[in-house]
Amino acid sequence: MYIDPIVVQYPEALEADRFVIATYYCGTPVKTNALKFGAALAVEQTCGTWIKVPGETPEVRERSIGRVIGVYETPAYQIGVPENVTERHFIIRIAYPAANFGASMAMLLSTVIGNISSSGKVKLLDLEFPESYLKEFKGPKFGVQGIRDILGVYDRPLLNNMIKPCTGLDPQKTAELAYEAAVGGVDVIKDDELVSNPPHCPLIDRVKAVMPAIQEADKVKGEKTLYAFNITDRTENLKKNALAVMENGGNALLVNYNTIGLDAARMLADDPEINVPILAHSDYTGAVYESPWSGLSINLIGATLPRLAGLDMIITLSPYGKFPMSMDSFISAGYKMLQPLGHIKPVFAMPGGGTTQGHIEDIIDKFGVDVMIAAGGAIHGHPMGPAAGARAFRQGIDAVMKGKTLQEAKADYEELRAALDLWGIYGEEKANKNYDLKG
């Protein structure tokens, strides 16, 4: 077996600032030569053919070919593969010259998980970007600090609410529910991902109905509320929708970033005329991350890439309710949004999907204050009404921030007590039966 030395290099041999490094999980038949397999992936996604062609000069190869910089077997069979083993598992790291794809997210993904997504068990786990590449991206305009500055809230987690029911409401009913959630203490309210510009609730009619209700609630509670209007649409309508929302008083936007595409989301975030925070909704990401054998990790499609695209808040599906998210994946994705990434600002993770007041303590324990707790049914379905549901969250947040447990705090607040009696506290037996909507 001969493998061109330029295709297999150790990391210390790289001119690191030229390369984006991809880390993959790969499963192969027992007799597969993993080094050769990794080289095949690297070549396929760069020079693109297994046979030498006249145009592939040494200069072209040096400039553009991918390099395998690590192949690690798990378990690490070093002296032979046991007879009962039917499949081998590898972590393979490949360095791709950033000049091949530039600052296009479409071309980045076409390179790092393009044709090789059809190569069997190959899953893209992570990407490492040199500073020279990150400099091509503006990132979020606001992020964690910018949103806190808008709201004037610095010492606690923020509270998000999604309007429920998801769809079917007219603008006036949407406004009524938004008022109740806002006056109860919600910091950021959002349209549901299924509502953008339907005939029964046109986008601009919704903005004109909701924003006066939000402003009235702000006067009553003495706090500011952001409302993220869903502008998801055909690509050519995105900016038009965004500007129309802002022209009619809207103060935040929402996009289903994976269905419109990361470059389309970035187009909105980079636009100097669009100067309000953008909330990223995670529709369709499950189709990308849920397979253990293929696609992209939740860390990438649910955290790093939308953050790189410039979105300020990202819905994070949690393991608390109706989605099959593992706890370690949930925590890891949330941390990815807050970790340093060159000059790219940290962004808010928004755990949702079955979150109740009984999860407040656990969420703060995992993420601290820089998290946005997202709830729909636990606010709008509270037995005392949506405003009480929101107050119950704020009561629980304030109590935990003061060092109390939820069990201790429920004695002090009627609204919080009603929620905890109904849905329980995460980790307790009753809650384990209530909160998991999959059961």
Q: Residue 74 has what pLDDT?
A: 93
Q: Which residues sit opposite 139 in a β-bridge?
A: none
The backbone torsions φ and ψ at residue 158, rounded to the nearest 5 degrees and listed phi first, read -90, 160
CATH number among 3.90.330.10, 3.40.50.300, 2.40.50.140, 3.20.20.110, domain 143-434: 3.20.20.110
Q: How far is CA 336 from CA 31, 216, 246, 303, 346, in A?
A: 36, 36, 30, 6, 9
Question: Which residues contact residue 419 at a Cβ distance below 8 angstroms, ignoring those fewer than 6 apart?
Answer: 356, 357, 358, 378, 382, 389, 392, 396
Looking at the chain, which residues constitute the CATH 3.20.20.110 domain(s)? 143-434
DSSP string, 371-432: -EEEESHHHHT-TT-HHHHHHHHHHHHHHHHTT--HHHHTTT-HHHHHHHHHH--TTSHHHH
Q: Residue 430 has what pLDDT?
A: 63
Q: Residue 324 has what pLDDT?
A: 82
Q: Taking a C-beta distance cutoff of 8 angstroms, is the pair 226, 187 a contact?
A: yes
CATH annotation of 11-134: 3.30.70.150
In this structure, the number of other CB atoms found within 10 A of the CB of residue 368 comes to 10
Question: Which residues contact residue 240 at a Cβ distance below 8 angstroms, ignoring those fewer than 6 apart?
Answer: none
- Read off the amino acid at residue 304: T
Report which secondary-structure segment, H or E, holds 130: none
In this structure, the number of other CB atoms found within 10 A of the CB of residue 335 comes to 14
Q: Give the E-state strand segments of 231-387 in sequence order.
A: 252-256, 278-281, 295-296, 313-317, 348-352, 372-375
Looking at the chain, which residues constitute the CATH 3.30.70.150 domain(s)? 11-134
Q: Taking a C-beta distance cutoff of 8 angstroms, is the pair 374, 389 a contact?
A: no
Tokens describing residue 21:
């490094």
Q: Is 218 exposed, middle or buried (0-12, 13-18, 19+ CB in 10 A)?
A: middle
CA dist 12 and 1 (Å) reads 24
Question: Which residues contact residue 155 at a Cβ distance below 8 angstroms, ignoring those fewer than 6 apart?
Answer: 369, 401
Q: Residue 194 has what pLDDT?
A: 85
Q: Residue 44 has what pLDDT?
A: 84
Q: Residue 1 has what pLDDT?
A: 47
> In Å, how far from its chain's centre is CA 221?
30
Q: Taking a C-beta distance cutoff of 8 angstroms, is the pair 67, 93 a contact?
A: no
Buried b (16+ CB within 10 A) or exposed e, 64-79: ebbbbbbbebeeeeee
In the three-class reduction of DSSP (H, G, I as helix; E, B as strand; rest coil), residue 358 is classed as helix
In this structure, the number of other CB atoms found within 10 A of the CB of residue 106 comes to 12
In the three-class reduction of DSSP (H, G, I as helix; E, B as strand; rest coil), residue 135 is classed as coil
pLDDT tens-digit profile, the chain (439 residues): 456 777 888 888 888 899 999 999 999 999 999 999 998 898 888 886 656 666 667 777 777 889 999 999 999 998 889 999 999 999 999 999 999 999 999 999 999 999 989 989 999 999 999 999 999 999 999 999 999 999 999 999 999 999 988 788 999 999 999 999 999 999 999 998 888 988 999 999 999 999 999 999 999 999 999 999 999 999 999 999 999 999 999 999 999 999 999 999 999 999 999 999 999 999 899 999 999 999 999 999 999 999 999 999 999 988 887 788 899 999 999 999 999 999 999 999 999 888 999 999 999 999 999 999 999 999 999 999 999 999 999 999 999 999 999 999 999 999 999 999 999 999 886 655 554 544 4
Tokens describing residue 210:
């909701």
Q: Taking a C-beta distance cutoff of 8 angstroms, is the pair 61, 54 a contact?
A: no
- Residues designated catalytic: 164, 281
In the three-class reduction of DSSP (H, G, I as helix; E, B as strand; rest coil), residue 438 is classed as coil
Question: Which residues contact residue 128 at a Cβ distance below 8 angstroms, ignoring those fewer than 6 apart?
Answer: 20, 21, 23
pTM of the shown model? 0.94
